[in-house]
């Protein structure tokens, strides 16, 4: 009977394989992280688009326009020109909206389209995913243009470039959105 001399891999071969894998991981990891962040930015942009569509639908709904509840507040806020003024689109803990503005025909219509009422959620509960500016949480706002004919939904403290470096848009003007890096939908 002949014995097979099957020793397996040598130590040098194993070290070479481990070194090649380390190099591949070092090269691919930054790209993978960038792709993951861009996917998160895309999800947050879709959130803004859904919210923009829901608000547009609510503004055009005849029942909302005829409502005598807090809906008139939202219609006025989203159709009057307010240069440099942003309107919170969720229940921000520092200054929550009164109940009559959080639960009215307008917010009910938005909630029907979105599947939930954003004014009953804190920014953390909205499930926004992109990396915010250090020390902040992504917060959705509406910004009306200077003539009151259009609005944008934006995420303050976000970065649509996917560089994980959020910025604050704050109380800037509608026309400056495109030059900024925040995630927005007009």
Token pair for residue 28?
């691919």
pLDDT digits (tens, 9 = 90+) for 46-84: 999 999 999 999 999 999 999 999 899 999 889 887 766
pLDDT reading at 8 higher than 70? yes
pLDDT of the residue at 109: 96
Q: Which two tokens stand for residue 99?
A: 């109940």
CA distances from 178 to 1, 119, 160, 174 (A): 79, 26, 11, 9
86 against 18, higher pLDDT: 18
End-to-end CA distance of the chain, in Å? 81
Instruction: Please state the domain extents for the chain.
Output: 11-185
pLDDT reported for residue 93: 66
Rounded to two decimals, the pTM is 0.82
35-39, 82-86, 107-111, 146-150: segment of lowest average pLDDT:
82-86
pLDDT at site 98: 76
- Please say if the pLDDT value at position 15 is more than 60: yes
Question: What pLDDT was estimated at residue 48?
Answer: 95
Say which residue the tokens 């921000």 belong to: 92
Output the CA–CA distances (angstroms, integers) from residue 69 to 12, 61, 64, 72, 140, in the order listed.
77, 14, 9, 7, 23
pLDDT digits (tens, 9 = 90+) for 74-108: 998 898 877 667 888 887 765 567 777 888 999 99
Q: Look at residue 2 in the predicted model and tell me its pLDDT.
A: 61
Range 21-29 average pLDDT: 92
Residue 66 burial by CB count (10 A; 0-12/13-18/19+): exposed, middle or buried?
exposed
Residue 31: band (very low, low, confident or very high) from pLDDT cuts 50, 70, 90: confident
């Amino acid at each position: 009977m002949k014995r097979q001399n099957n020793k397996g891999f040598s130590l040098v071969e194993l070290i070479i394989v481990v070194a090649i894998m380390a190099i591949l991981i070092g090269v691919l990891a930054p790209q993978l992280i960038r792709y993951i962040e861009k996917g998160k930015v895309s999800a947050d942009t879709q959130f803004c688009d859904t919210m923009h569509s829901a608000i547009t639908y609510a503004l055009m709904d005849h029942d909302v326009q005829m409502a005598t509840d807090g809906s008139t507040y939202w219609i006025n806020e989203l159709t009057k020109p307010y240069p440099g003024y942003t309107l919170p689109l969720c229940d921000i803990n520092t200054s929550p909206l009164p109940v009559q503005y959080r639960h009215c025909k307008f917010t009910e219509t938005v909630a029907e389209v979105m599947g939930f009422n954003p004014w009953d959620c804190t920014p953390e509960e909205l499930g926004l995913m992109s990396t915010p500016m250090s020390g902040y949480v992504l917060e959705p706002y509406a910004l009306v243009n200077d003539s009151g004919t259009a609005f944008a939904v934006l995420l303050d403290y976000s970065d649509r470039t996917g560089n994980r470096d959020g910025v604050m848009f704050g109380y800037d003007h509608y026309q400056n959105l495109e030059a900024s890096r925040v995630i927005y939908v007009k």
